[in-house]
């Protein structure tokens, strides 16, 4: 099973995928400014240490999605990132999935850290090109993945197929969600099969209803590297 780790919260919109970001919607509902990046409470910041220490209670946690309410490499978090890296280093039994829209700011991954999957988000071909080459400089250091969610256009992965270990795809959710063409999804799935890359179809609108891990052409795709 998985968990979510948010050492800091708040973000800034940087591309079309961010237009209807759930974090902005939720923060505003709580009366908070989503554009203000703040460090989380000590209990939240140090939560993985609790998970690791209490394996009898939390041993089912294997994968940890990191910064669902921010970006791990956002500039405002620079003073706190070394502490987060240290927590990641001290909890090798957990695998941290770090997804970013800011690969140009990755900078470095500390030596000795092996329990990170590093990914970029790209909603269409234009944004894959914009983020890909900064990202490729780090793919040798970690399991690397591509998240095409929300999928807002066709994506061709030929140029990065040898550097990507996993592909996730899904439609947008929430109010005003923009549609995802099923042919974009099908084509991406076919590319992954052609190149031997695990494919995870996270969600789609099926008969007007948001459906998690739906079938595509009679099969569910919940593959992992």
pLDDT recorded at residue 150: 97
Residue 34's alpha-carbon distances to 12, 78, 187, 190, 218, in angstroms, are 8, 18, 35, 37, 40
Residues in the chain: 225
CB 93 within 8 A of CB 52: yes
Full-model pTM: 0.95
- Residues of the chain whose pLDDT is less than 50? none
pLDDT recorded at residue 138: 86
pLDDT recorded at residue 123: 98
Q: Please give the span between the terminal C-alpha atoms of the chain, in angstroms, as a whole number.
A: 15
Residue 86's alpha-carbon distances to 25, 58, 126, in angstroms, are 31, 20, 35
pLDDT recorded at residue 111: 86
DSSP 8-state class, residue 160:
G
pLDDT recorded at residue 196: 98
Alpha carbon distance 200, 224 (integer Å): 7
Domain boundaries, the chain: 1-99, 122-225
Give the model confidence (pLDDT) of 79-137 as tens digits.
999 999 999 999 999 999 999 999 999 988 898 899 999 999 999 999 999 999 999 98
pLDDT recorded at residue 133: 93
């Amino acid at each position: 099973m998985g968990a979510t780790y948010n050492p800091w919260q708040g973000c800034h919109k940087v591309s079309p995928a961010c237009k209807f970001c759930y974090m902005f919607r939720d923060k505003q509902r709580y009366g908070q400014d989503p554009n203000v990046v703040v460090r989380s409470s000590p209990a939240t910041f140090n939560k993985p240490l609790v998970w690791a220490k209490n394996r009898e209670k939390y041993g089912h946690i294997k994968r940890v999605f990191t910064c669902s309410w921010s970006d791990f490499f956002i500039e405002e978090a620079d003073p706190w990132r070394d502490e987060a890296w240290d927590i990641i280093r001290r909890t090798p039994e957990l695998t941290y999935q770090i997804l970013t829209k800011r690969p140009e700011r990755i900078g470095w991954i500390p030596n000795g850290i092996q329990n990170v999957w590093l990914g970029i988000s790209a909603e269409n071909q234009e944004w894959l090109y914009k983020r890909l080459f900064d990202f490729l400089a780090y793919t040798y250091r970690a399991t690397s993945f591509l998240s095409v969610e929300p999928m807002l256009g066709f994506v061709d992965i030929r140029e990065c197929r040898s550097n990507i270990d996993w592909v996730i795809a899904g439609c947008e959710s929430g109010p005003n969600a923009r549609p995802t063409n099923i042919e974009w999804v099908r084509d991406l799935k076919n590319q992954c099969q052609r190149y031997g890359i695990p494919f995870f179809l996270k969600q789609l609108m099926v008969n007007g209803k948001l459906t998690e891990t739906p079938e595509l052409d009679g099969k569910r795709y919940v593959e992992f590297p």
